[in-house]
Amino acid sequence: MERKHQIPIIIFLSIFLLNLPFSSVNAGKTSYQKKERQKLEQYIEEGKALYEKGNYQGALEKWTEALKIDPWNSEVKNLIDDVLKKISNFSDELNRGFNYLDNNELDKAKKIFDKLSKEINPEDKKNYELLVKGITLLKEAEKKKEFENLLKKGDSYLNKKEIDLAEETFNEAQKLFPTDERLAKRFQKIEKIKEEIKKEERIAQLKSRARELFDQNKFQESKARWEEVLSLKPGDEEAMLYISKINFKEKEKERILALGKSYFDTGVNLYKQGRYNEAMDQFENSIAVGYQIEASQKYIDSIKEKLFEIEKKKNEDRVEKIAKYLKEGIKLYNLNKFREALKVLNDGLKLDPDNTQVKEYIVIVSIALKRQEEKRVPMTSPFYPLVENLKRLAKNAYEKGNYTDAIKYYEEILLIFPFNEYAKLNLTKVLKKTDPELASDILSNMIKEAEDLLCKGKKRESLEKLKTVLDVDPNNKKAGLLYRKLKSEMEASKKIVTRDMINRAKQLYNQGVEFYKKEDLKDAISKWKEAISIYPDFVEARISLAKAETKLRNLKLIEAGKGQAESESISIAIKRHYIDGLNYYMSGLYKEAISEWKELLKLNPEDESFKKRIYQNIKRAEQRLEMRG
């Protein structure tokens, strides 16, 4: 029994013992494969981490190690393919950036390098070092480009002689490349230009002062400055011209003095005779040639005062005449002599075309005259023949019982002269005799016309039309209502002047009179205007206002003429250039003569015939120069 059970045990142990070495080998192999698999996965994951950080070279190394473990691993092969493409693309882009650098297309190179900088990891040393090299070269190229641009900009300033800006620009360039030889040359050029500018400024100062001294007849002092100009700038034409003029003036000194004395003495004689304008002309000539300048100027100042007083007296006479014309015009207006009033007022307006009171009364009288002529058309009116013909036609039609035509002719007269009394009277007579139905239609039409006139602001004409309707039909309600309303409005619009208002206006008038006595014309005008605004029919205030306006306006003109010192100095300068030019011309100094007359033309004399003569003189002098060769 025991033996039977022992046999299977022995067999199991035998099998186990026989299989023991083989099981140990399998167990060892499995353990090794597991470690290799872990290592493979580790390389893969580490490569992916490096790839995500942009370290493509590191990723490639990790996946290459992984491939050694499992050469047939498709995932690793795909990862390596992908990273190789990345590296290849990176290299291509980097090469493209370097090509742009070589072609000096810096903006395009920068764009590529900026893009690659975002993609690459510094741990990818090989590619990163290449990128850093590209960026370094780019910065150097940009620096050179900026330097060249600064040189170009500075040269532009130099050409325009804007030295400060040029120097500032080259200093900026020097910060970039301190040792560049081109900068040294440009700084040398700047110093040279500075010296030239300083020299030109000195020459300009000398010339300006030399001209002033020449105009003051200080010829030797002027000559010294011109000679200094020639020492700085040999052959200067202006300097040589002025020295020639000075030499002439020194040589002809006695003759010029005699000429000046003749001008001065003639001026004194004319002054004594009261021929002030002619005397002033002679004294200006005397100053122009440099003779008795102070004495001549005193005479000129005295003449201006005398002319001022003469003009003031003329102004007073003009003021009184204006007042007389206005007063007479108002008087004739009040007498209904409108045509005579208009003539007188227009005569006053000729003396002072801007006088507000005269102009206002001309308007008032013109309106009154028009209304007067509308009532009875005078024979002098250009419409007289037409109106007479219409009257004749209307009369004939009426006598024949043709009331429709008669009405038509009278309405045509009223169309031209809405206030014509003959036409209104006869139209009323005809309308009363005509067919009531026709009369009603005509009256309705006239009311409509009155309403249209009112819309156009013609209140008086509208009122006159309504009055004609009521003369024919006093019971016409529409016409009566419109007439009363319009009449009421017109009455309300009239200014009602109370006794208190008149007293206030007189008070203002008296204040204005006091200001006028003190020659305070502006305040006098202000007071009288206020008085008239309160009491429009205040005749004395209107006359006084007209006088003050004319007086003030003319005084302003006189004062302006008195204070024209600049105009006087220009006049003397013109004469000096003209006389000097003639003297030079007569002595054969044609260039000198031309220069004087050209200076004269710069002063723009008003006399066109005089200017024309100067141009002819210049042309003759130029011809003489050509003949001389």
**Domains in the chain and their CATH numbers?**
42-178 (no CATH), 196-251 (no CATH), 564-629 (1.20.58)
pLDDT-derived band at 599, boundaries 50, 70, 90: confident
The pTM for the full model equals: 0.42
- Residue 20: predicted pLDDT: 37
The predicted model gives 428-446 an average pLDDT of 74
pLDDT in tens, 122-131: 766 777 777 8
pLDDT for 8 beyond 50: no
pLDDT for 152 beyond 60: yes
Alpha helical stretches, state H, 335-456: 338-351, 356-375, 384-399, 403-416, 421-433, 436-455
pLDDT-derived band at 7, boundaries 50, 70, 90: very low
- Residue 1: predicted pLDDT: 37
The predicted model gives 351-355 an average pLDDT of 82
- Residue 461: predicted pLDDT: 75
pLDDT for 201 beyond 50: yes
Q: Which two tokens stand for residue 125?
A: 């040393």
| More reliable by pLDDT, 159 or 497 | 159
The predicted model gives 226-230 an average pLDDT of 92
- Residue 559: predicted pLDDT: 66
pLDDT for 203 beyond 90: yes
- Residue 6: predicted pLDDT: 37
pLDDT in tens, 35-44: 888 888 888 8
pLDDT for 15 beyond 50: no
- Residue 374: predicted pLDDT: 62
pLDDT for 585 beyond 50: yes
- Residue 225: predicted pLDDT: 93
pLDDT-derived band at 376, boundaries 50, 70, 90: low
- Residue 562: predicted pLDDT: 53
- Residue 236: predicted pLDDT: 92
Question: How many C-beta atoms lie closer than 10 Å to residue 463's C-beta?
Answer: 19
pLDDT in tens, 55-82: 777 787 888 888 888 888 888 878 887 7
How far is 333 from 449, CA to CA, in rounded Å? 32
pLDDT for 208 beyond 90: yes
Q: Which two tokens stand for residue 190?
A: 């700047």
The predicted model gives 469-486 an average pLDDT of 81
- Largest interatomic CA distance in the chain: 189
- Reported as half-sphere exposure (CB side, CA atoms, 13 A), residue 490 has a value of 15
The residues, ordered by sequence, that sit 6+ positions from 289 with a Cβ below 8 Å of its Cβ are 256, 259, 260, 263, 576, 579
585 with 593: CB under 8 angstroms?
yes
Listed range (70-79, 99-108, 457-466, 536-545) with the worst mean pLDDT: 457-466
How far is 600 from 610, CA to CA, in rounded Å? 11
